[in-house]
Amino acid sequence: MNRRAVTILIGFVCLIGVVPAAISGPATAASARAAAGAAKARAVMTVAAGDTSGVSPSVLQLAIGAVSCAVNSGDIDAPRTLTVIDYSLPSTEPRLWVFDVPSGRMLFKELVAHGKNTGENLATNFSDVMNSRQSSLGLFVTRDTYVGSNGYSLRMNGLEPGFNGNALDRAIVMHGAPYVDAALAKQQGRIGRSWGCPALREAIARDVIDTVRGGGVIFSYYPDKDWLTSSRFLNCDRPATKDTEAVATKDTKITKKTL
């Protein structure tokens, strides 16, 4: 395991761990919620004990912080799995990791496709707009599975308006694809690209989907300035700003126009 990752993540766990328990005496609803939230956050943090195997410590730290924020805010329940996708890495390298949250164990490390209009081997452009054929950033929670044009697929609900809030309407789903292939990557310098979906190798897609389905969290990362500064899950101690609202409103208007 990366020693730097251990140091960063253990420090983060300790920081979460110092959240005070409810004040003694008659419990208030607020203190009860705070105590419950702290307990949930600590549960999420146990992923730090696992094998990070190539994932950037800073990206994993962001992912854990975002999930903790979402749990504490009541947007999601404490997840069983955390999937991290680092789109700053080339498509020819494994850039998707699945962690079992209770044990912190890494379950999968895989290639993953990005959208056709997101880039060639390197991803550079992201969108939440209908028909953009681009990947989206941010925090998603997994939902149910179905069999569609891409075979066995997993619906993903985007939790960040302006960045991935249209995921369900855009049919941004996890599925297997023949173009996600290491041999193909060697031939053409990149794996194939999707229409915005995080597509996986066909041989492993069903196993990954069945592991993360039904409430698992997916954290899709790229060092995009707007997302890093506007995401409420990455800035949990800061209330939503007018800039954040403007991004969401602007994207919604574009989406309606496209439709």
Confidence of residue 230 (pLDDT cuts 50, 70, 90): very high
Lowest mean pLDDT among 8-22, 130-144, 161-175: 8-22
Tens of pLDDT along 67-108?
999 999 999 999 999 999 999 999 999 999 999 999 999 999
Give me the pLDDT at residue 51, please: 60
Give me the pLDDT at residue 242, please: 41
Rounded to 5 degrees, φ, ψ at 177 are: -155, 140
pLDDT at 244 over 60: no
The pTM for the full model equals: 0.79
Give me the pLDDT at residue 123, please: 98
pLDDT at 151 over 70: yes
- Whether the CB-CB separation of 119 and 139 falls below 8 Å is answered with no
- Percent of the chain's residues with pLDDT above 70: 71
User: What mean pLDDT value characterizes the chain?
Assistant: 81
Give me the pLDDT at residue 99, please: 97
As a whole number, mean pLDDT of residues 136-144 equals 98
- Percent of the chain's residues with pLDDT above 90: 70
Give me the pLDDT at residue 190, please: 98
Q: What is the DSSP code (8-state) at residue 196?
A: S
Count the helix, strand and coil residues of the chain and give each as a percent rounded to the nearest 5.
35, 20, 40
pLDDT at 137 over 50: yes
pLDDT at 12 over 80: no
Confidence of residue 53 (pLDDT cuts 50, 70, 90): confident
As a whole number, mean pLDDT of residues 146-154 equals 97
b/e map of 13-26 (b: 16 or more CB within 10 Å)?
Answer: beebeeeeebeeee
Give me the pLDDT at residue 237, please: 80
pLDDT at 241 over 60: no
Q: C-alpha angle 137/146/218, rounded to 5°? A: 25
Q: Which of 97, 103, 113, 130 is nearest to 212 (CA)?
A: 97
pLDDT at 38 over 80: no
Confidence of residue 7 (pLDDT cuts 50, 70, 90): very low
Tens of pLDDT along 184-205?
999 999 999 999 999 999 999 9
